[in-house]
Amino acid sequence: MQLSRAVSAYLEQLADVRLASVHTISSYGRDLEQFMNNVGDVVISEIDMRQVRDWLAEGYASGWSPATSARRLSAVRGLFRFAEGAGWCETDVTTGLKPPKPRKRLPRALPPEQTQMLLGEDAETSERDMALLAVMYGCGLRVSEAVGLNIHDVDLGAGELRVLGKGRKERVVPIPALAVELLEAHWSQRLGHADPSQQAMFLNRSGGRLSTRSVQRMIKKRAMQTGADVSTTPHTLRHSFATHLLAGGVDLRAIQELLGHASLSTTERYTHLDINRLTKVYDEAHPRARRQS
């Protein structure tokens, strides 16, 4: 079976049997066309692992991202498993091949003075936006968690938020004093304008629930107004919350609970941002850290 015919049959099977999306079929089609341009329209049983591996290595060296490399390996792997099942080749030559690991990006955090700039009093910024900024940074919320807050999730008397996180897991987080004050100001303003039946804590101009996109635009505008880093995003505030807690000596397990991370390894990424502090603690506390006099 020629490679071109095998590719056509595989893409038809994806569409008709596996009901893959149009986007997937289009992407796999382009990937397999590139592979065919590299190895030639040969009999599929004559292709070996080395040819697939070399194609992936050349592409990665030319600038493919880890995600692109992984998708292209997935496309070729699916083709060969299909071909093996159809009896066009004896083995799946992609067995054992692994895509490159994605580059690990350390989370970026704002210096404390820049978070103070974002949260500073400003007559041009609405009570809603100030409260939203204070809650996102002060409680370490994801933007989806912030816009998903309902009235009954906020207990200003107890100074607590009930947050619905990933996997619909609930957690309760404390609200800092500044955020409580700003939420009270927002609540007073909200009572006079909102439809009583609307449960969302943060509303847009039409009275509906605020969108994540609107929050992203607001934070960027606020950063430009205050002179903070204009690349600041909602997630930057969350990373800053965790980093500043760590710098203040808060236990990593406690930060994990506050962030709603399922695994401590996810939270541990934040320690890289404060390596200077950890090194200083080590030097001061470890008995073998310094040369003996």
Q: Is 142 a catalytic residue?
A: yes
Angle between helices 127-139 and 112-119 (to 10 degrees): 150
C-alpha torsion sign, points 207, 209, 214, 220: positive
Q: Is 10 a catalytic residue?
A: no
Active-site residue (options: 18, 30, 166, 217): 166
Q: What is the CATH number of domain 112-282?
A: 1.10.443.10
pTM of the model as a whole: 0.61
Side-chain-side CA neighbours of residue 90 (13 Å): 3
For residue 266, the model assigns a pLDDT of: 79
DSSP secondary structure letters along 96-128? T--PPPPPPPPPP---HHHHHHHHS--TTS-HH
Q: Is 171 a catalytic residue?
A: no
For residue 162, the model assigns a pLDDT of: 95
Active-site residue (options: 186, 190, 244, 261): 261
Active-site residue (options: 72, 186, 238, 239): 238
Q: What is the CATH number of domain 3-86?
A: 1.10.150
Residue 170 backbone dihedrals phi, psi, to 5 degrees: -90, 145
What residues of the chain score a pLDDT lower than 70? Answer: 102-107, 123, 270-293
Q: Is 169 a catalytic residue?
A: no
Active-site residue (options: 10, 28, 137, 270): 270
Q: Is 98 a catalytic residue?
A: no
Q: Which pLDDT tens digit goes with each residue over 65-86?
A: 888 888 999 999 999 999 999 9
| Domain residue ranges in the chain | 3-86, 112-282
